[in-house]
Chain A
Amino acid sequence: MPVRLHLDRLLVQRRMSLAELADRTGVSAANLAILKAGDARALRFSTLDALCRELACQPADLLTWEP
């Protein structure tokens, strides 16, 4: 899919583990792993809201479109 989610990059920048992010956002570690691997088919606004809040970023920092 041309839309990519840069969760791994932001986690490194914030020095945060996947488990910690799961704990903070309430999204399960398994689902975050699916997001990180780029296997998700859709992303809820509520999930995006939680990720942006805990990673202190904008949606554009997380998502990019690559043709």
Chain B
Amino acid sequence: MPIMRTLGPGSLSSFMKAVLDVVWGLLLVVLAILGASLLYGVLAAFNPAMPFARLVLFEGLDPLQAWAVVLARLGTAVLFVGGVLTIVSSLRKIFATLKAGDPFHPDNVTRLRVVAVGLAWLELVRYAVWTLGALLPPQAAPDRPNLSLTAWFSILVVVVLAEVFREGARLRRESELTI
């Protein structure tokens, strides 16, 4: 069985880039839908005449309180999907360089740092949602999140990888001027 190449055209990186392109497109659509829903929610919360304005999703909450809960969740979803989109966007660019057979492109250092910050952002959004959720009525409060050591370890790994790529880019620059 032939072993699939990891770099260059027609390689595993090329396949991953195609998958990331599709995911990126889907995330854009999801973000647009969430953004539109958020906007509609803000308008509907203050205008009971609009369709679906009288939300009864949570027992014991009046429509305005229900909309506050829904808008908080939609806002969280926008922040979360925005974070994932930023990560996927950076990964797409990184995999484009891998597809081109140029892993130590100088820009990949910044892109990997963006991925690390994005992952940290997603974790912090989870904790922030739980903290702010304490302000919501008990029936609408989100579940308490676990402290994910795997997520924080992954963030540290990506930070270290960014430094490895920075060193790789430096060595590439050096080798380009070695004659």
Please give the residue numbers on chain A whose beta carbons come within 8 Å of chain B beta carbons, in ascending order. Answer: 27, 31-32, 34-35, 39-44, 47
Query: Is B150 positioned at the interface, with any CB of A under 8 Å from its CB?
Result: no
Q: Are B178 and A34 in contact (CB under 8 A)?
A: no
10 pairs across A/B with beta carbons < 8 Å? A32-B179, A34-B179, A40-B177, A40-B178, A41-B177, A42-B174, A42-B178, A42-B179, A44-B179, A47-B179
Q: Which residues of B contact A31 (CB under 8 A)?
A: 179
Please give the residue numbers on chain B whose beta carbons come within 8 Å of chain A beta carbons, in ascending order. Answer: 174, 177-179
Q: Which 4 A-B pairs have the closest CB atoms?
A: A41-B177, A42-B178, A31-B179, A40-B179
**Minimum CB–CB distance for A48 against chain B, Å:** 10
**Minimum CB–CB distance for B5 against chain A, Å:** 28
Q: Are B178 and A39 in contact (CB under 8 A)?
A: no
Q: Which residues of B contact A44 (CB under 8 A)?
A: 178-179
Chain B residue at minimum C-beta to C-beta distance from A27: B179
